[in-house]
Structure 1
């Protein structure tokens, strides 16, 4: 088995800290493959604490024909697109067929797509950080749909200060504020997370939490809370967050304490950065 490990605390320009290989019997092709895999994996992330990759190929001579039994990746404290924090990500591929001549050129080119089982772990803190990212904020600010502007005197509506709490049994609680022309209205809801079509996170059975809202604001808060729930329900689609050459699909999700765990698979069309 070939192994490489990479540890860093900087940006992706500093990500490749080094790799380890078996002490004996490591030929040029194995060393080259280790190097190219490490360079490819780094393109997935803006930043990382550690990424470990192990490649299984027995006998190793199969590399010359471009045949790899599988490879595994385990990463910790990863950042995707500078704003999306991932506590852990791992995947293990099926058999992989590569064009070995591409390795000699510093790239890995797949002869055909391959699949991998995958798991992603997010923290409550990381999810809340994502709500402050530009990609998410632009979907929550200055919303001018007829349903909302009819309630705000024709002015756009914004949702700010979003704070999500993970609860048992795949439930979540969200607190936020609605910015209206005549002031700020607090909103709060609980909902159950579910997966639709293996790629969309659905916020099901939203319930308004009136206890945390002043009595005089509960009427408008209830309406805005349910409108916010509908926006969330149409916002989290994995196709918007695909990694380079890797399409993620979810089979199940569950809350585990202050983490949200996704299990599914990845379709790898090409290695990152190899187009």
Structure 2
């Protein structure tokens, strides 16, 4: 399940309380991901006697190559809380239970390759196949339309180039667009300022392709909603996103009502 844990077994102080919380937390986090290349968990508590009252100064997790729900891979993910109030008795029983909700600063890094792979996930495909809104069926003559072969290229300045194919029956029309990524209500990723790119598209298909491009933009703006990916008891919110080379970086926070036991 996990490729390995970093930072465990090096508790020089020999504090059994921190070791217990580290072990239980690692086992809990392990079940939140389908696979991971590496994960590091660190609990800070000074003096350590505060653990007996269930108080720790901070809890930090960082991981690499984390796979969520079998099909969504993140290059890197980390979160760090402020002071946390735990039920220490539950930790003795092998569970992490919060006495009260807490927040954590969260950071996520997605690679261009993983973004493209996510368009093949079942949860995403069902929102891109056999679509029948009026704006699409007016183009296809009443036939359901599917978007496939989607490829995203990250560009500087939070810009994205996206190519795809729209198809119905025996008809296939290429779709090309440029846009800027934004955030709405701290939970949705928006594809803003969508611009149709007619290059490499046959002149006789450009009018149809432009209409499909605008339709795809509307679909994408309704699709990337973090509330669809929340873990039980955890709400994720975004403050900022940024393209950096072939990586897309997100920063925000997690509102944690309770620690989920499984992803």
Q: Which runs of 5+ in 1 are unaligned?
A: 1-6, 10-14
Equivalent residue of 2:140, what SS?
coil
Aligned length: 263
Mapping 1:1-275, distance limit 5 Å: 8-9=2-3, 19-27=8-16, 29-273=17-261
Structure 1 residue ranges, 4+ long, deviating more than 4 angstroms after superposition: 15-18
- RMSD of the TM alignment (CA)? 1.8
| Distance in 1 between residues matched to 2:195 and 2:186, nearest whole Å | 24
Give a deviation string over 1:121-146, Cα, whole Å, max 9, x none: 00000000000000000000000112
Is the Cα–Cα contact under 8 Å of residues 108 and 274 in structure 1 kept in the other structure?
no
Q: TM-score, normalised by structure 2?
A: 0.95
CA positional deviation for 1:182: 4.3
Is the Cα–Cα contact under 8 Å of residues 7 and 40 in structure 2 kept in the other structure?
no
Change over 3 Å in CA distance of 1:148–1:95 after alignment to 2? same
Change over 3 Å in CA distance of 1:180–1:25 after alignment to 2? closer
CA positional deviation for 1:44: 1.9
Q: TM-score, normalised by structure 1?
A: 0.91
CA positional deviation for 1:19: 2.9
Change over 3 Å in CA distance of 1:56–1:166 after alignment to 2? same
Q: Which runs of 5+ in 2 are unaligned?
A: none
